[in-house]
Structure 1
Amino acid sequence: MNVRPALSLALLSLASFAFTASASESVVECVDLGSDQEILRAGNGQQIFLRDGQTHYRIGFGRTCDSIQMTSSVKISTDGQDNRLCPSGTKVRTKEANCAVNALEVISAEEFAKRKKRVSR
């Protein structure tokens, strides 16, 4: 029995799994957002996806943020500072509500594009 092909396949699978597992990473420091932004509403008010320049984020809420699905205006702030996104203390404001952020991850441009395609259907 030739072990090399099986070993090569196993290593390739492991490398593929490691790449998939690192497709998103938690944000550990605050980020000052720029003016080139795009927001995708998804997940029945449980999360949004944000493109800020060339960086992409998944922003999750502790409780469902129903107003996020229907609002025309979204503002992100932390401790009263607009356009500041932090791992804790960040709020997403709509005209009707303030929604507390409880999850913040950097995602790939490919993941953002995939989400954008789903939303546009």
Structure 2
Amino acid sequence: MPTLPTGFAALALIAATLIAPAAQAADTPSASAGDSCIALSEDQQIVRAGADRDVLLRSGDQHYRVVFTASCNSAVTSRRLAFETQGQSNQLCGGSRSQLKTDRASCTVERIEPLEATAFKRMARQRSR
């Protein structure tokens, strides 16, 4: 029969084994909206005023700020703007997997930030001034 201190030691060892994976999971960053993928609707609005580093995107009733990995000057003047992920149109992913295709160039998407509709409208108005 184990003694009382031995029983506590065994209990502590069991507790440590159960707690360690949970603590490890808490330290591991989870996938954020910036790394997830979004299927875009045909009803889109891209606000590109001040589009050097990002654009505002409305897809149906969803609103986003799309941030590029580097400057995207061609988005400001291009007649054609379309998001593409590995050759698939109307698919938008963060984590440098998608690109904004313009008339002359492509801009890599770093992350996608969801926005409330009111924030989207406010930011769009500020950019158009």
TM range (shorter): 0.7 to 0.9
- Which of the residues 90, 97, 100 maps onto 1:92? 100
Q: How does 1:27-106 map to 2 (within 5 A)?
A: 27-88=34-95, 89-106=97-114
Report the number of matched residues.
97
Conservation of the 8 A alpha-carbon contact between 2:44 and 2:58: yes
**Structure 2 Cα separation of the partners of residues 28 and 96 of structure 1:** 26
Bigger Cα Rg? 2
The structural deviation recorded for 1:115 is: 1.5
Shift of 1:31: 1.3
How far residue 30 of structure 1 moved from its aligned partner, in angstroms, is: 1.4
- Look up the equivalent residue of 2:128 and give its one-letter code: S
Question: What is the rounded CA distance, in whole Å, between the counterparts of 2:115 and 2:33 in structure 1?
Answer: 9
Maintained 8 Å contact 2:93/2:111: no
| DSSP-derived class of the 1:69 partner | helix
Question: In structure 2, how many angstroms separate the alpha carbons of the residues matched to 1:44 and 1:76?
Answer: 14
Aligned equivalents of 1:69, 1:100: Cα separation in 2: 15
Q: CA RMSD in A?
A: 1.5
Moved over 2 A (4+): 25-29
- Structure 1: any 5+ residue segments left out of the alignment? 1-24
- Separation (CA, whole Å) in 1 of partners of 2:62 and 2:104: 28
State, as a whole percentage, how many aligned pairs show the same letter: 33
The TM-score normalised by the length of structure 1 is 0.74
Letter in 2 for 1:77: E
Greater shift, 39-48 or 64-73, is seen at 39-48
